[in-house]
């Protein structure tokens, strides 16, 4: 027997019904926001991800050489691929370009509950919109998706990585190292690095700033600690907050958190993360923010912002809050009484299917009572018994599987009789 690889999942029909329900909620909302769907390959040239994504992702890549000796990596996220696609083919589209994607991504992580090596993301990007309205739009889509699946216990935290960058006036590599130390709250590493760079005095304020979390009043505290470096970002976050109000996101629905540093290196401005407190250690259901990959990939500067939600974690959060609708049941299970009635039974099941009902038919020539047991086990709403005598008079026997009540129904009225409430 084979075992599936570590950190991967098999999803059965009930799981998939829940996953599709959540995915559909995102897709419908994204389309209602005017985003268009794109699809990019599951594997890409390795450099696409090593160029800027940073050790948070690069150390976790599934990378290999293909038979042509090319360095390839399974995509660990969508953003790199979307920006590659934008630069090669979509640059000419009217701006802003609003794109969404869903699908599997791959990271070689230590698996645990909610953390997998293959997982599924719901991703959205806006390229070429003005920063403030676009940041507000992606935040509204991210939080709106969670509301659409009924989640109540979500916590969005909004920060600003541009502010931290302004306060750390070093080259990109040194800045990345410092930000990773901050992301991991590894203060000894932060201090050592700043000492090496000859600016040990920056460690104290940095440490204070990433500890700031709460309502808009913390923005003033950040401005005091960072001085000029914080001014622009603080003004920006105040304005963003006003805009979010108009999206139906009052300030009570999120908090500011200057400690949102993100594990990826490409962020440049507003950043956010969303947690579900029900999920234990792996509670982050989504994250994103404003970034710059277009220039890193050789394109012209253009504002970029987006986010990804982890579908696996979203479904777990929805299960914990009991918000998902039960899967739509089978409307009818059609039972030919004797193999000679199979042709007529197929006619009937085909009519039901064509009418948009979920209808199944016996495929193993069971007797009627075994077939009723099966219909029961499949949670069919009705069993339709196709017997010779009934058919001769233009009808079938319909059994309500919940009440056990059975009655004759004329074939012309069968679809109407089986239609759900």
Candidates 144, 288, 299, 387; binder of ligand HAM (CB under 6 A) is 288
Taking residues 118 to 157 in sequence order and writing x for each that binds ligand HAM by CB under 6 A, - otherwise, the string is -x-x-x-x--------------------------------
- CB within 8 Å of 97: residues ≥ 6 apart: 86, 90, 126, 127, 128
Using the minimum distance from each CB to ligand HAM, give the nearer residue, 291 or 382.
Answer: 291
Strands (E), 241-380: 254-257, 267-275, 284-291, 304-310, 332-336, 359-361
Interface stretch with ligand HAM, choices 126-134, 177-185, 309-317, 337-345 (CB under 6 A)? 309-317
The site that binds ligand HAM (CB under 6 A) totals a number of residues, namely 25
Q: Can you give the C-alpha Rg of the chain in angstroms?
A: 27
- Packing angle, helices 187-196 and 172-183, rounded to 10: 160
Using the minimum distance from each CB to ligand HAM, give the nearer residue, 97 or 391.
Answer: 97
Using the minimum distance from each CB to ligand HAM, give the nearer residue, 230 or 287.
Answer: 287
Q: Which of residues 26-45 bind ligand HAM (CB under 6 A)?
A: none
Q: C-beta of 334: minimal distance to ligand HAM in Å?
A: 41
Q: Are 378 and 360 in contact (CB under 8 A)?
A: yes
Which stretch of DSSP H or E encloses residue 65?
strand 63-65
> What residues form DSSP beta bridges with 384?
334, 398
Candidates 115, 208, 231, 353; binder of ligand HAM (CB under 6 A) is 115
Q: C-beta of 312: minimal distance to ligand HAM in Å?
A: 5
Candidates 162, 287, 299, 303; binder of ligand HAM (CB under 6 A) is 287
Q: C-beta of 72: minimal distance to ligand HAM in Å?
A: 19
User: How far is 294 from 304, CA to CA, in rounded Å?
Assistant: 8
Strands (E), 128-266: 155-160, 213-214, 254-257
CB-count burial class (<10 Å; 0-12, 13-18, 19+) for 266? buried
Q: Does residue number 254 form part of the binding site for ligand HAM (CB under 6 A)?
A: no
Q: C-beta of 272: minimal distance to ligand HAM in Å?
A: 9
Candidates 284, 295, 323, 376; binder of ligand HAM (CB under 6 A) is 284
Interface stretch with ligand HAM, choices 94-102, 308-316, 397-405, 406-414 (CB under 6 A)? 308-316
User: How far is 197 from 195, CA to CA, in rounded Å?
Assistant: 5
Nearest one of 129, 375, 89, 187 to 178, comparing CA atoms: 187
Neighbours of 202 (CB within 10 A): 19
Taking residues 71 to 110 in sequence order and writing x for each that binds ligand HAM by CB under 6 A, - otherwise, the string is ------x-x---------------------------x-x-
Q: C-beta of 290: minimal distance to ligand HAM in Å?
A: 8
Q: Are 414 and 348 in contact (CB under 8 A)?
A: yes
Q: Does residue number 268 form part of the binding site for ligand HAM (CB under 6 A)?
A: no
Interface stretch with ligand HAM, choices 24-32, 86-94, 178-186, 300-308 (CB under 6 A)? 300-308
Interface stretch with ligand HAM, choices 199-207, 229-237, 278-286, 362-370 (CB under 6 A)? 278-286
User: How far is 221 from 136, CA to CA, in rounded Å?
Assistant: 23
In the complex, residue closest to ligand HAM by CB: 310
Q: Does residue number 313 form part of the binding site for ligand HAM (CB under 6 A)?
A: yes
User: How far is 415 from 418, CA to CA, in rounded Å?
Assistant: 5
Phi, psi angles (nearest 5°) of residue 261: -105, -25
User: How far is 145 from 62, CA to CA, in rounded Å?
Assistant: 29
Candidates 181, 190, 226, 285; binder of ligand HAM (CB under 6 A) is 285
Query: Which token pair is 247?
Result: 């999206």
Q: C-beta of 56: minimal distance to ligand HAM in Å?
A: 7
Contact set with ligand HAM (CB under 6 A) = 77, 79, 107, 109, 114-116, 119, 121, 123, 125, 263-264, 284-288, 291, 306-308, 310, 312-313
């Amino acid at each position: 027997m084979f075992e599936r690889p570590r950190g991967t999942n098999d999803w059965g029909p009930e799981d998939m019904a829940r996953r599709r329900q959540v995915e559909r909620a995102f897709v419908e909302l994204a389309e209602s926001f005017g985003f268009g769907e794109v699809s990019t390959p599951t594997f890409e040239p390795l450099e696409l991800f090593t160029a800027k994504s940073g050790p948070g992702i690069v150390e976790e890549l599934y990378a290999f050489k293909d038979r042509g000796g090319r360095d390839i990596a399974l995509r660990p996220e969508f953003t790199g691929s979307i920006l590659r696609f934008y630069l090669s083919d979509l640059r000419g589209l009217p701006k802003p370009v609003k794109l969404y994607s869903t699908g599997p991504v791959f990271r070689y992580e230590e698996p645990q509950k909610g953390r997998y090596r293959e997982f599924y993301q719901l991703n959205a990007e806006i390229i070429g919109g003005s920063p403030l309205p676009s940041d507000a739009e992606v935040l509204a889509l991210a939080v709106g998706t969670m509301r659409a699946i009924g989640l109540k216990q979500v916590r969005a935290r909004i920060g600003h990585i541009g502010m931290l960058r302004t306060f750390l006036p070093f080259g990109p590599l040194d800045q990345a190292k410092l930000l990773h130390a901050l992301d991991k709250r590894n203060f000894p590493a932060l201090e050592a690095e700043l000492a090496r760079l000859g600016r040990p005095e920056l460690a104290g304020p940095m440490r204070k700033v990433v500890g700031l979390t709460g309502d808009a009043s913390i923005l003033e505290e950040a401005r005091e600690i960072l001085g000029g470096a914080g001014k622009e970002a603080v003004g920006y976050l105040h304005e963003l907050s006003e805009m979010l109000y108009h999206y139906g996101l009052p300030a009570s629905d999120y908090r500011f958190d200057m400690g949102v540093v993100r594990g990826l290196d490409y962020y440049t401005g507003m950043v956010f993360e969303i947690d579900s407190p029900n999920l234990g250690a792996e509670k982050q259901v989504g994250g994103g923010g404003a970034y710059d990959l277009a220039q890193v990939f050789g394109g012209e500067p253009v504002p970029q912002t987006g986010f990804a939600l982890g579908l696996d974690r979203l479904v777990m959060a929805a299960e914990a809050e009991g918000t998902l609708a039960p899967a739509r049941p089978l409307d009818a299970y059609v039972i030919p009484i004797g193999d000679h009635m199979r042709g007529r039974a197929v006619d009937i099941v085909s009519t039901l299917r064509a009418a948009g009902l979920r209808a199944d038919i016996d495929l193993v020539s069971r007797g009627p009572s075994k077939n009723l047991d099966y219909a029961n086990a499949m949670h069919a709403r009705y069993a339709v018994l196709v017997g010779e005598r009934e058919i001769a008079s233009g009808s079938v026997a319909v059994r309500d599987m919940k009440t056990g009540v059975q009655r004759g129904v004329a074939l012309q009225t069968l679809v109407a009789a089986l239609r759900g409430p």
